[in-house]
Every structure is written in structure tokens, then in C-alpha cells.
Amino acid sequence: MKDYNKEAHLRSILKAVSYRFLAAIATGSIAYAFTRRLSISLGIASVEAVAKIICYYIHERFWSFIKFGQKKHPLSSLPVNRPIEEKDMEEIKKKLKELGYLSEE
């Protein structure tokens, strides 16, 4: 059964890369402010970015196993055998509205 409450590996990787790209610009700028040498600044920013992408990914995956602070949806424990189709989703929403779990919006 697929767990929809967990973050996909690709999402963790993309988050790590996008964040580290911005952070590497900051690191490179700081290094340049201290050294006034572009080659050293770019080298520091590059090595730092790669190392911290790996650290961030490991950190994200580790935290995905820690339940502290996570809110679990009450329906997440239901065994679902296949992806829910749009027509089925409409029926589910209709029933949840009838039962008072969803507003009539």
C-alpha cells in the first residue's frame, strides 16, 4: 500500500538542490567579500553546495521517519488497493458532506 503522507525522494532532492543553489550564491558572495578572489569564492561555493545537498537530503529522509509533530489524516490508515479515480473522489466527497465532515462550499 502506498503511503501518501510521506514525501517522495525526488521532491526531497529537488528541494535540496533549489535551496542549496540559493545558499551557494550567498556563500560565494560572502567568500568573495572576504577574499576578493572569484576563483576561490566559486570553489568554496561549489564544494559547499554539493556537500550540503547530500547533508540536506539525508536530514530530510531521516526526519520522514520521525512521527513527532506529524499530523496523521484519520483516513490514512484505510487500505487502498489502487489510485482513487476522479469519479470515485466525487462520490467520496459527496458521502463525507452527507456525514457532515465536509462543508457544502
Q: How far is CA 65 from CA 7, 8, 20, 68, 70, in A?
A: 10, 13, 23, 9, 10
Domain boundaries, the chain: 1-72
Instruction: Check pLDDT > 90 for residue 25.
Output: yes
* Average pLDDT, rounded, for the chain: 87
Percentage of the residues of the chain whose pLDDT score is greater than 70: 93
Closest CA to 31 of 18, 43, 19: 43
* pLDDT one-digit tens code per residue, 54-103: 988 899 889 888 888 877 778 888 888 888 898 998 999 999 999 998 88
